Structure 1
Amino acid sequence: MDSQTEFQETTDTEVLLVRLREGEVTETLETAGFEATIRSGSDDVPEAVAAADPDCVVVDHDPPVLDARTVLERIRDAGHDQPFLLYSPEIDDAVVERVLADGGAYLCEHSDTADRSLLLARVQSLAESYRREKWIGLRDRAVDQAPIGITIADADDPNEELVYVNDRFETVTGYDADFAVGRNCRFLQGPGTDPATVDRIREAIDARETISEVVLNYDADGTPFWNQLDIAPVRDESGDITHFFGFQKDVTERQELKRDLRRQQELQERFTGIVSHDLRNPIGLAQGHLALLQEEYDDESLDQIDYALERMLTLIDDVLELARGGTAVGDPSPVDLSAAAAAARATVRDQRVGVRIDDDLPHPEGDPDRLTTLFENLFRNATEHATDDGEPATVRVGRSERGFYVEDDGSGIPEDERESVFEWGVTFAEDGTGFGLAIVGVIAEVHGWAVTVGEGSDGGARFEFEFDGTPTV
């Protein structure tokens, strides 16, 4: 069943009956299942049409009180286009001719049962035609006003010439319908258009298949733009392909963003390579020579050099982790946060912190390695902010209403400093690098999560993570 037939079958026929004489006609319509609105005069008919929005207007001619010509004129003057049926006993030919000339229809009224059947059939026919035209008009307006470019090409034409383009196509390309119709859409191609992409499009059309490609096109001014092109064959009632529908969307901004992201990724890979190898190697060389010196000399200055080199390695590790954590999550999968937190706990060997992990943590979409890194940095932060009384800090990882939290019972973070803890280089610990919580913030951001810091239930710090959607459990 096509959409047009479905539309008709699910719509009840509504009739506005304008008639001084009620009785059998009204009963006939209502018995047949029509929804009839009755008016006995012509004065308020336009208002009645506006209120009832009927599929057909059936009018008697009973002058001088009720003149069908006047009723039709008032309906049309009010901007209503419903079918108009003059249903009355034999009347003057001039009246009928006037009604027909103004787009109405006429059926002579008789009193027998057969006549009533003719009335029902005529009303139903007019109503269905009206609804069909109304539906087609709506569909045409939707296509004309669609927010993407739409084209229709003749599949039977050897050149697949365009037979239709909508308004958005004209806006995107700068070519109006007068220019485009009758031409193949290849006029959008230019010197930068990829021949391989064009070949794939050509092969799909020849094979009568659907295809989706991003192609570099050129508008009427010669300005290049990236076009998301989708082409699909259209079949007739017998299944034969008669046309091709083309959908065109300007995705230049998206393509430029992807290009910029690729450039950033390349720069990031070069940066991490330099940091990872070119900086580590001389530090390793320095540590080797330092070890030789420490075997011969017992000097506090050598210990300070050793500390400085170790700190440089720590900074390098943090910078690398921050760079890796800031890339988009390319292929997210459900992550068992309890397992990720447990893996992070295994890497924290400091005896000043104990970790408790709830078993019912959610399973959000994400990158398990980066989420393990997130927990590692939170656990190390708790170690750095353990209380000064020598007691080990306790960290708890638990489920919250919209995500999860990590809280400790350490010294906490002062309220006036909480907004800055996720900034690069900010640290409140003597040996901190200022990257740990920045890494936490970046990893949360690339996962689309909101993270806030507050006071824990035992006075320490509480980090709250809220998911953008409902987590998988």
Structure 2
Amino acid sequence: MPSAPLNDIAPFDMHDQQISVLLIDDDEDLIELSADFLEHELEQAETTTVTDPTTGLTEAIEGAYDCIVCDYDMPTLNGLAILNAVQNEGVDIPFILFTGKGSEEIASKAISAGVDEYLQKGGPEEYPVLANKIENLVEKHRAEEQVQRGFRAIESAQEGIGIIDEDGIYQYLNEAYAEIYDRERAEIIGQHWEMLYPDAEADRFTNEILPKLDSRGSWSGYATGLTKNGETVSERLVLTPTDDGGHVCLVQSLASEDELKQELELKNRALDAASVGVTITDPTQEDNPLVYVNDGFVTLTGYDRGEILGKNCRFLQGEGTTPETVTAIRKAIDNEESISTAILNYDADGDPFWNYLEISPVEDEDGTVTHFVGFQRDVTELKAQQTAMEDQIEWLSEFAEVVSHDLKNPLSVIRGNIELAMQSGEMERLTEAQQAADRLDELIDDLSNVMRQRQLVNDLEPVDFAEVFQSVRWSEGGSHSVDVADSNVIVADKQALARLAENLVHNTIEHGGDGTTMRVGTLPNGFYYEDTGPGLPDESPDTIFKPGFTTKDDGAGLGMVSIRQIAAGHGWEVSLAESPEGGARFEFTNVDSPA
């Protein structure tokens, strides 16, 4: 059964909309912390902070915000005074009293004043609660506004809109509906729909139209109604069933055949003015040819109308068109079903473009499919953006795993040195542990910055790469060192380069025995890192840098991925080789030097 038109309307969705939050708090440090936490907890949140209550009140009244989060105890104006002033100015948005001075008295005053939420400040655990309350209040407020706008739109619509229950009784109708029949709303609401139609027309509704509405899920066509004075009214109707057994009725008066002709001409002009391509095919003819195309389709494809009419739409397909998509379209048409899909088409110049195609069957009053209507849009740019977004999501997923791996390096140094200090009593080991802890803190800040900016490499600066490699620390016993054959200054993100160096050094320590030596040196357009360990496995570089590849039973296989990510983030090329001693050698080229 075809879906009813109202069933195709998308529900309200607030989750992708920006939420603008005004924070008012005289504690400058706390308000900035609150803003940071909220923007972390609510990806779509945008915060504005004001520490002066008077300025905050002005901003609340004159600005455009979705929610106000306000402290209570502030100089010159407290939070409830601000709420009262905002309400007096007619600003109707959610207001949350977020106070560090909590008491039953204040809570009672807040509720009486009409705050939407009252929340007492605490530790970081309070911010997810605050973020959740903001999101819920804003979504509820927006939904209420949407409903109000929708109701006002229905009330002011030029078309008549009515709701009839399962017994055929009018439960609601707008002014335009009543005017078509020259009646007041009160005369129709509570009455059966038959009062507006001649007996013969009422019989047609009962015996023909309403059964089709039940079987097909919607009905549209023409009918004849009656005014209060008994005059006939030519009208166009669209009926859509409701879940409770009733239906929604959209009605429009048609004064004469001339008006019908004008309406048809207007539709044709509207279709030609549309930016999307519109086509109509006739399945009763051989090969379901095109019998109508609008100007938008001509512009989209680059073909003249005369070259298009009479052909099947497959003339737009080419070597890159996916056979599976073509099969799906053909199957939907054979089954007289709707379909929406993206297909690679080719214009008159042979240039490919992604066409988002929507095809639906068109039925006559008897339910027989007489035509197919198609809508086409060029979504080439959107397709490219989607591909780029999918690549970004894949990178972020892989990066999240790598972050977990990279954080374990300094953690192992901390744990190892603490354990050695406890066993041997060498308190200098705690110094090593402290330095590793400092490195861990730097790494967390760096990775947090990466996630905020969604770029692995951010702060480029002149860096002596050998110094970075020599600063790497480890906790394992044995003799290890990073020798410097030669060095120079390169342009790099120092924190990202430190992560790369840590992964290389720790990879050598994990796979090499006691006395394994590491060495760095320069290349004509970059630098290398090599060791005297057992060397790289006999695998292709693509395999070695693939997530999950490891030669250890308990390895995560993410160290090499991190190295590849950081090199790619700098625009470097990385290749694998063998050191003179038979160990592993990594060569990084296309590396920039300071100007």
TM-score by length of 2: 0.32
- The answer to which structure, 1 or 2, has the higher relative contact order (CA under 8 A, 6+ apart) is 1
TM-score by length of 1: 0.40
Q: Which has the larger radius of gyration?
A: 1
